[in-house]
Amino acid sequence: MEYAIELRNITKIFPGVVANDNISLEIKKGEVFAIVGENGAGKTTLMNIIYGLYSPNSGEIYINGKRITHNTPKKAIENGIGMVHQHFMLVPIFSVYENIILGNEFVKNGIVLDRKKGIEEVKKISEQYGLNVDPKEIVGNLPVGIQQRVEILKVLFRGAQILILDEPTAVLTPQETKELFETINALKKDNKTIIFISHKLKEVLEIADRICVLKNGKVMGIKNKEETNERELARLMVGRDVVLEVPRKEKKPGEPILEVKDLVIMSDKGIPAVRGINFKLRRFEILGIAGVEGNGQKELVEALNGLRPIHSGKILINGKEIDKFDPWFFRRNGFAYIPEDRRVRGLILPFSVSYNLFLGRQRDKNFKKGNFLNSGYIKTFSSKKVEEYDIRPRNPNLKVDSLSGGNQQKVIVAREVSYDPDVLVASQPTRGLDVGATEFVHKKLVEQRDSGKAVLLISLELEEIMMLSDRIAVLFNGEIVGELSQEEASEEELGLLMLGLKRYDKKEVESEK
C-alpha cells in the first residue's frame, strides 16, 4: 500500500498539556481522510505538525515514504502539502490571479511582471479542476464560496498533492458545500489526498473514505464510512451517547414579545445593511434567521441589544417602543444576548469564571453590599452555576481564558439565562463547538423556548436552524426574502433563498397560526 502520509508515534507536549499522545496514522494516496474530535482533542496541533508549524516532541513523519526531519511550512509546501485555513488568507483588494500567484509571480525580461502569463496559468488550472473563477475579479467582491475556490487554487498552483482543509464548510451555503464536494471528488480522481477537518458529522460521512476520531490527544478509532454512523462517531468523540436531535414540547406560540417594524440599520460604512424588515417573535417559539454571513445579521443583532442605533423603523418589546439604544436599557427591558464572538463580545478573558458569570449584575441588590460587591453571594451564585452548567474545571476562580471554547460558551449561556429574559438573542451560539458542547447549547435554547421565552436564533448552520426553529426567516442583502415553518423548510429551499435565487412576496415574517 502506498501512503501519502505516515505518522509514527507523534507526541506533542505543551506546558501542562499533552496535545498529541503517541499518534500513529497512515493516510492513503488519493483518499479523503477526515479527522473529527472535541475542541481540544488535538486536531489542529496535529495538522500544524504535518504542515511544519510545530515540531513534535517525539515521533516520525513520512511523506510519500520519505522521512521528513526539521519540518517547516516551506519544506511542507516543497513536499506537496497545502493547507486551506478556516479563515481565508486572501488579500481582498487584489484580483483572483494576483492572490493565487503571490510569491510565485511570472516575470519577463527578469524584472517585469508578466500579468498575461499569470492569468493564463490561473485559467488553465481552474478549468482543469472545474473551479471556474474569473482571474481578473477582485477577491473582495466575491462570495465566500468562490473565495474558498481561490484558496484551493492557491495551493494547487503551488503543486500540492496533499490538501488539508480546516473546517471548509463552516461558512458555506448547502449549494456551495455541494460544489465544494464536487471539487473534492475531482481532486480525488486526480489522485490528490484530502485531509478533511470538520465538526459536521453528516458531511464527514458523505465526503470521507475513512474517519479518524481523536479524544484527549489520542486516536480513539479509525472507521470506514460504510461501517459507522453519526451516533457512533459522536460517542467516540465525547465518551458517551450524544442526543443529536433535541426533543421539543408541542407548544402553540403565545403573544408577540418582540416586534420589528420597517427597520433600517446602517453599516459601519454608512450604507443600509438592514433594509426595512418586519417580523414578530412570540412566546414559546424560536425564530431562526438564516443567511450567508454579511447580509445584515450582525447589524440586526447589534441593534436588538442596544449596541447600534437604528436609522428608521421601530423595535417594540411587549408592545412598548424602544426609544433608547444602550445595552443596559435593553437588559432592563428583558433582553439577553449570546454573542457570536465569545472571546471579543462575550467574556473578559483575564477575569475569573466567577466574575464573568455575574458580569452586568453589579447593580443588582443581591450582588452588592452598600457600595461594594457582595463577595459571599457572588461565591455562592458562581459555584451553583458552575455545577448546574457543568463548567469544567469546577473552579470559579480560574481565569476564563484558561477554559476550552465549549466551557467558555457555557459560562456565557449560564450568565445570560440567569437574567430570566423575555427575549434571548443567540447569535452563532455553537460556532466552533464540538458535538458535545453543541448538544448542551441546543438543550438550553429549547428549554428557554419551552418555558415561555422567545428565542431569536441567528446561525449559519442550516442543520441547526432547521432542527431548533419553529419558523425560519431568510436574510439576503439586508432584506427578509422568505419565511418558512419548520415543516416547510428544506436545505435546498433555504439555500436558494440565501443565495438570492428565490424570494417570496410575503414581507412580514409572522405566524399565521
108 and 19 within one domain = yes
Domain count, the chain: 3
160 and 102 within one domain = yes
263 and 205 within one domain = no
Q: Looking at residues 174-178, what average pLDDT do you find?
A: 80
Question: What's the mean pLDDT when you consider all of the chain?
Answer: 89
351 and 471 within one domain = no
Q: Is the pLDDT of residue 432 over 80?
A: no
199 and 106 within one domain = yes
Q: Is the pLDDT of residue 509 over 50?
A: no
Sign of CA dihedral 251, 297, 425, 409: positive
Q: Please state, in angstroms and as integers, the Cα–Cα distance from residue 386 to each residue in 53, 355, 376, 437, following that order.
A: 36, 12, 16, 15
Lowest mean per-residue pLDDT among 295-304, 339-348, 431-440? 431-440
pLDDT digits (tens, 9 = 90+) for 77-125: 999 999 988 778 889 999 998 999 887 777 666 655 778 888 888 898 8
385 and 291 within one domain = no
Higher pLDDT: 324 or 257? It is 257
Q: Is the pLDDT of residue 500 over 90?
A: no
274 and 155 within one domain = no
Residue 243, in any domain of the structure: no
Structural domain harbouring 263: 254-334+421-513
For the chain, the C-alpha Rg in angstroms (whole number) is 25
Q: Which of 103, 58, 95 is nearest to 77 (CA)?
A: 103
Q: Which among 397, 419, 441 is the end of a domain?
A: 419
Q: 68 pairs with which residues across the strands?
A: 61
Residue 249, in any domain of the structure: no
Q: What per-residue confidence (pLDDT) applies to 111?
A: 58
Q: What per-residue confidence (pLDDT) applies to 512?
A: 40
Unique residue bearing C-alpha cell 525580461 = 109
Query: Could you tell me if 181 and 173 are in contact, meaning their C-beta atoms sit under 8 angstroms apart?
Result: no
Residue 507, in any domain of the structure: yes
Q: Is the pLDDT of residue 507 over 70?
A: no
> What pLDDT band is residue 513 in, cutting at 50, 70 and 90?
very low
481 and 393 within one domain = no
pLDDT digits (tens, 9 = 90+) for 435-461: 888 889 999 999 999 999 999 999 988
218 and 123 within one domain = yes
Q: What per-residue confidence (pLDDT) applies to 505?
A: 57
Residue 248, in any domain of the structure: no
115 and 100 within one domain = yes
Residue 498, in any domain of the structure: yes
199 and 59 within one domain = yes
Q: What per-residue confidence (pLDDT) applies to 294?
A: 83
pLDDT digits (tens, 9 = 90+) for 5-51: 999 999 999 887 899 999 999 999 999 999 998 877 888 889 999 99
Q: Which among 205, 238, 271 is the end of a domain?
A: 238
CATH number of the domain that 513 lies in? 3.40.50.300
426 and 412 within one domain = no
Residue 29, in any domain of the structure: yes
Q: What per-residue confidence (pLDDT) applies to 112?
A: 59
